[in-house]
Amino acid sequence: MQLEEKLLNGDKRGCAKLISMVENNDKEAIDIIKKLYNHTGNAHIIGITGPPGGGKSTLTDRLAKALRKEDKKIGIIAIDPTSPFSGGSILGDRIRMNDLSLDKEVFIRSMGTRGYLGGLSKATQGAVKLLDIFGCDYIFIETVGVGQSEVDIVKTADTVIMVMVPGLGDDIQAIKAGVMEIGDIFAINKSDLMGASKTATEIKMMLDMSDNMERRPPVLQVTAIKNEGIDKLVDEIKNQMNYLEESNELYERRKNNAKTEIIKLVEEDIINLILKKNESIGMLDDIAHEVAIKVLDPYTAKDRVFNSIKEL
């Protein structure tokens, strides 16, 4: 059976193979996505992010299990830390969700930040499309780490769940401006801990102060490890999707995401073009040499390379 058929027939290994191929920037895999692109758009893509230690993996695990009870097909992409200096917690994340991964209707993939030709963002976007064609009803993109680049990827989801923990206190102030705004739903995890209601109130107050929101995000208290509040969270995920569809916001978001994706793809092509041209005629080498010996500044050098692109 061809990979294409395998994907359409919901063959997990075929899907896994294609995702690996996309990670390696394989033309065949890209061609399959191109061909089957009109099969995408059915999955609800959910980004899960938040400060470290919030229990994002556990929450994703519980959400997936709750949706499995409704016989939904699930994809989970865990984005590993951007930090090249990783702590010891990663291995724990990697071996998590074992029982889920045995489920034929659940596809789990962990994606690192290095070694992907074309970058993690491109690989993730490709994987999301493949899982969409594969027939997933829900695709979770979860940040394991909390770097800016991972958050930028999560922002491309239809819905973003911001996972917080009680007792953040002043730390809420430390969350950089603009990040709170990407949350469509706020889930305060570990709500069996002291201070959960206080944190909920604080977040609500912050959200009330923001005036550039179409829809005030719901703030929920959950305790993922005890499976408490998960059903309510699932309800809010569905409410959010209904809102997105009815308000045309889903179209707007997907259009904006398409713009970002196209620009990133163009960027990559340009770089490849410059590097390829450099291999043959050494254009970049020559110019970089002049910059290194200080007879040319990098800004003027850029203009030269930029102008030469039009002739390529």
Within positions 12 to 41, which residues make up the interface with its own copies, using CB under 8 A?
30, 33-34, 37-38, 40-41
Indicate whether 51 belongs to the interface with its own copies (CB under 8 A). Answer: yes
Indicate whether 82 belongs to the interface with its own copies (CB under 8 A). Answer: yes
Minimum CB–partner distance for residue 126 and its own copies (Å): 9
Count CB neighbours of 293 within 10 A: 8
> What is the H or E stretch that residue 106 is in?
strand 106-111
Indicate whether 95 belongs to the interface with its own copies (CB under 8 A). Answer: no
Indicate whether 90 belongs to the interface with its own copies (CB under 8 A). Answer: yes
Tokens of 140: 């979770």
Q: Contacting its own copies (CB under 8 A), which of 2, 95, 255, 280? A: 255
Indicate whether 92 belongs to the interface with its own copies (CB under 8 A). Answer: no
Minimum CB–partner distance for residue 98 and its own copies (Å): 21
CB nearer its own copies, residue 225 or residue 284:
284
- Binding to its own copies (CB under 8 A): which residues in 286-305? 287-289, 291-302, 305
CB nearer its own copies, residue 3 or residue 66:
3
Q: Contacting its own copies (CB under 8 A), which of 3, 66, 179, 206? A: 179
Tokens of 104: 């034929």
Distance, in Å, from the CA atom of 288 to the CA atom of 122, rounded to the nearest integer, reads 28
Contact 187, 161 (CB under 8 A): yes
- The letter for the amino acid at 291 is V
- The letter for the amino acid at 13 is R
Q: Contacting its own copies (CB under 8 A), which of 14, 50, 135, 166? A: 50
Indicate whether 8 belongs to the interface with its own copies (CB under 8 A). Answer: no
Going by the DSSP 8-state scheme, the letter that residue 228 receives in this structure is: B
- The letter for the amino acid at 133 is I
Minimum CB–partner distance for residue 188 and its own copies (Å): 15
What is 198-224 written as a DSSP string?
Answer: HHHHHHHHHHHH----SSPPPEEE-BG
What is 19-77 written as a DSSP string?
Answer: HHHHHTT-HHHHHHHHHTGGG-S-SEEEEEE-STTS-HHHHHHHHHHHHHTTT--EEEE
Indicate whether 170 belongs to the interface with its own copies (CB under 8 A). Answer: yes
Q: Contacting its own copies (CB under 8 A), which of 87, 201, 245, 282? A: 87
Q: Contacting its own copies (CB under 8 A), which of 24, 83, 197, 247? A: 83
CB nearer its own copies, residue 22 or residue 219:
22
Radius of gyration of the chain from Cα atoms?
A: 22
Part of the chain binding its own copies (CB under 8 A), chosen from 10-18, 84-92, 185-193, 221-229: 84-92
- Binding to its own copies (CB under 8 A): which residues in 96-155? 113-114, 125, 145-149, 151
Nearest CA-CA partner of 101 in 55, 60, 160, 44 = 60
How open is the CA angle 179-237-145, to the nearest 5 degrees? Answer: 40
Count CB neighbours of 274 within 10 A: 17
Q: Contacting its own copies (CB under 8 A), which of 3, 8, 66, 175? A: 175
Distance, in Å, from the CA atom of 263 to the CA atom of 274, rounded to the nearest integer, reads 17
* Per-residue x/- track, 213-252, its own copies (CB under 8 A): --------------------------------------x-
